[in-house]
Structure 1
Amino acid sequence: MTVTIVLLLLVVFLVIGLPVALAMSVAGAAGLYLLGGSGFLVGILRTSPLSTANSYEIITIPMFILMAEFVILSGVARDLFRAATIWVGRLRGGVAMATALAGAGFGAISGSSTAAAATLASTSLPAMIEQGYDPKLAGGVVAISGTLAMLIPPSIALILYGIIADIPIGELLIGGIIPGIIVTLAIILTVAVLVRIEPAAAPAGRAYTMREKFASLTRVGPMLVLFLSVTGVIYSGIATPTEASGLGAFVAMLLAMWERKLTLRTFFEALRSTAQTSSMILLIILGAHIFGYFFTLSRVTNDLTAWVGGLDAPPMAIMVVILLGYIVLGFFMDQIAILILTVPVMLPLVTQLGFDPVWFGVIIVVTAEVGMVTPPMGMNVFVVARYTRRPLGELFRGVMPHVWAHLIVIALMTIFPALILWLPSTM
């Protein structure tokens, strides 16, 4: 009965628009009070903030966010888009395909999905509209390409999952590389199919000489240096993800200085934005810890695991139901909140069914990408609409073909776990 009351309280708080961190904290505190009284609750509230912040791995979050701020400041994303356009822009729909490539490149040097969507919305979408692209096609590919930053390392979502699940963050980040490439190819193939069905939706672009193509790669060099500074040193074992995040932030700062975009004012703006975002994430983690204490003490996880263990159903069928549940949750909730609320409950169940926790982490981040572009939440669609002043309905219709392509990719990764697990196994 207590669990039901607390869950209903949490749902009410989320529905009325209370911040996720506060909703989980208040609901969890209410549950702890019902379980053990005020003394019990005060004891947990005294220790939770320190135990939340006193984690070495949490340093990766502000460092990677700061790296993203410096990358946005340097203007590298625009260079990535121009280079991709030069290489594939002559194809019908080539600029839209270049947007997917730029999204993947930006994701490799930034862990923020909304930052990627905002940057692509301000660079590639105006270029596509100017060249005569159907706004629905253009807006859809920008919104879905921004989600690649959630998957391709350094991914804040995968780092959070690693912290919550207490598994190696390095393996998670490397595990996101091949799925990131597959999702990028799925976006490109979806664009190719759409323009084949409706050629008027995208014009053929101009051709470029090989000299122009190779000249464009000189602007991609800084991105490769930054990518190797982070993912390369993690994969090779030279540095831990925490050390790599500090190195990445430093190299990104040097890149902004090299581009002469770093001034005292922009430097402090980057620090302020990093502090605001990091504080928000830490507060969410704190709320999740308080709520997690309630779940642990009320034995919800143990009871759920025992119940599922007694079901007469194959593990894969249960996993399909779990993934469908994550997709449905993504329609209504923030993806970080979904991870923090569900992973402590679902991970013991998933490992009992015989699935790898690294595989599970990557696959639920891919399902979270679907939630980033589907109504009514669809955070990336809202970001693109704000930057471009395009109607929300138009953007949601434009992104739906990519949602179906994502579901096919999720099915492939579920059937073939080696697509995720092979590369981490070679570390």
Structure 2
Amino acid sequence: MTLLLLGLFLGLLLVGAPIAVAMGLSAAVVILTHHLPVAVLAQRSVNALDSSPLLAVPLFIFAANLLNAAGVTGHLFQLIRLLVGRIRGGVAQVSVLVNLVFSGISGAALADIGALGSIQMRMMREQGYRDEFAAGVTMAAATIGPIFPPSIPIIIFAAAANVSAVKLLLAGIVPALIIAVLLMLQIAVTARLKGLPRDAVRPDLKEIARTFLVSLPALLAPVLLIGGLLSGYFGPTEVAGVTVAYALAIGSLVYRQLTWRSLLAAARETVEATASVLFIVAAAALFAWVLTVDRVPANASGFLLGLSRDPLVLLLILNGLLLVVGMVLESLAAILIIAPIVTPALVAAGVDPIQLGVVFVLNLMIGLLTPPVGMSLYMVAIVAKLPLHRVVVGVLPFLIPLLLSLLVVTLVPAVATWLPNLVIK
């Protein structure tokens, strides 16, 4: 049964079928040919979507679209540029910091590239940065978004692995900060070795103060979100709803750039993005059910525990597996298929499920930067109007800080578990 399922799935991918279609259709064929209950097709799909944490996904997507329509990204970029742009390689450093702040709004790497990528690439080109370097910085900085809350992949992992979504979201804060620091160190070293340019801006304190006041409502959006989670009074869905209300308020009343036309455009983009995510969730539920019926999770758990019962060894094995999977499989689909299979074995061996969630998602976000299916590569190639091979060359040096961050989270569980265990007893 499993061989037929995987064969059909790979065959459909090779002929160009979307991944959700490939998963759902291959599962449906197996269910029909093995005379399994046909009602499962509807039941498992609907049950997969009947999940409280998943309610946060469309709300976070909507909040990010609203804030982008309100011009928040431009204000954030200008403020951080005034603060750090004068150091050597300053615009590249600004790109990392803006992604860190905006990741507290968007929750997705491709959303960060879509909202910030064109601004980052244009400014770095204007100041003489090589296109490959600018593309690499843009892609690497965007990996912060799916780690720092609100992270859509982490919410999906929480639903798939039956782990606390609030704890997992909080667990991403420290690793995201580590990624940002290591990326900035890499840029600083490159700036010194290759003489990267300084920004042309020459701000005075008055201009910085004025820009800070203008940007303050935008800066408060991630503070509101993270503060809500840390307080313990809100779950992901409630925080997402509050963030949407806040985005509507500052977009229409403070910045006054949120018109009915832009509101409808943001709603349309949200519906399209949410439909894509939920289609993958529903199809992956069918795919995972067939694997469960054929006892693949139980067999995989036995196999992994037979290799080793050392939590660190199992995490290193998982890292190797996911880095390869991330090269060929879309990240949400990989979470929904693989997480239910490997989580029981690793938790049984003593791996903290909170650490596991962060390690899992970070692996797959690195996969966004690797061919042949790395979506960030294609997104930046479109935004920057560069051939794919030049984009790949640009991102290679930035895999070093990302892999170092992954190693830190793997070797030191407290990096992921300290904050959620401190806040939520």
- Corresponding residue of 1:196: 192
- Determine the structure 1 residue equivalent to 2:410: 414
SS class of match (2:3):
helix
Displacement of 1:34 in angstroms is: 4.3
Q: Say how many residue pairs are matched.
A: 422
* Structure 1 residue 98: Cα displacement: 0.5
Q: Which secondary structure state, in structure 2, belongs to the residue aligned with residue 374 of structure 1?
A: coil
Relative to 1, partners in 2 of residues 1:312 and 1:247: Cα closer, same or farther, differing over 3 Å? closer
For structure 2, the 5+ residue unaligned runs are none
Deviations 1:1-45 (A, max 9, x none): x2112112112222222111111112222333344x0xx331212
Q: Which SS does the other structure have where 1:426 is aligned?
A: helix
Query: What does residue 303 of structure 1 align with?
Result: 299
Change (3 A) 1:308 1:146: closer
In structure 2, how many angstroms separate the alpha carbons of the residues matched to 1:225 and 1:87? 18
Show structure 1 runs of 4+ deviating over 6 A. none
> Is contact 2:86–2:198 with CA below 8 Å preserved after alignment?
no
CA contact (8 A) 2:145 2:151 kept: yes
Identity of aligned residues (%): 28
Q: Which residue of 2 aligns with 1:264?
A: 260
C-alpha distance in 2, partners of 1:184/1:34?
50
Task: Choose the corresponding residue for 2:153, options 150, 157, 165.
Answer: 157
Q: Residue by residue, what CA displacement relative to the aligned partner does 1:184-204 show, whole Å, maximum 9, x if unpaired? A: 1111111111122211x4346
**Which amino acid letter does the alignment assign opposite residue 225 of structure 2?**
V
**One of 50, 56, 62 as aligned partner of 1:60:** 56
Structure 1 stretches lacking a partner, 5+ long: none
Deviation per CA, 1:378-413, whole angstroms, max 9, x where unpaired?
Answer: 212221221221232222212111111111111111
Contact kept? 1:120, 1:146, Cα under 8 Å: no
Q: Which residue of 2 aligns with 1:17?
A: 16
Q: Deviations over 1:178-224 (max 9, x none)?
A: 1111111111111111122211x434655433343333322331233
Q: Relative to structure 2, which stretch is displaced further, 313-322 or 104-113?
A: 313-322
The alignment status of 1:166 with 2:162, answered yes or no, reads yes
The structural deviation recorded for 1:335 is 1.2
One of 112, 116, 136 as aligned partner of 2:112: 116
Equivalents in 2 of 1:202, 1:400: separation in Å? Answer: 21
**Does the alignment pair 1:248 with 2:248?**
no
Q: Report the CA distance between 1:363 and its aligned residue.
A: 1.2
After the TM superposition, which of the residue ranges 266-275 and 23-32 deviates more from structure 2? 23-32
TM-fit CA distance, 1:312: 4.9
1:26-425 alignment, distance < 5 Å: 26-35=25-34, 37=35, 40-199=36-195, 201-203=196-198, 205-257=200-252, 258-312=254-308, 314-425=310-421
Shift of 1:246: 0.8
* Cα separation, 2, equivalents of 1:134 and 1:50: 48
The TM-score normalised by the length of structure 2 is 0.95
CA distance in 2 between counterparts of 1:143 and 1:50 reads 35
1:126-162 per-residue CA deviation (whole Å, 9 max, x = no partner) reads: 1111111222221211121122211111111111111
Amino acid at match of 2:302: A
| CA distance in 2 between partners of 1:263 and 1:89 (Å) | 32
Q: Tell me if the contact between 2:45 and 2:283 (Cα under 8 Å) persists in the aligned partners.
A: no
Matched-pair contact (CA < 8 Å) for 1:91–1:205? no
Distance 2:306 2:240 in 1: 43
TM-score normalised by the chain length of structure 1: 0.94
Contact 1:80 1:102 in 2 (8 A): yes
Between 390-399 and 81-90, report the one with greater CA deviation: 390-399
Rounded to whole Å, the distance in 1 between the matches of 2:416 and 2:396 is 25
Measure how far apart 1:320 and its partner are. 0.8
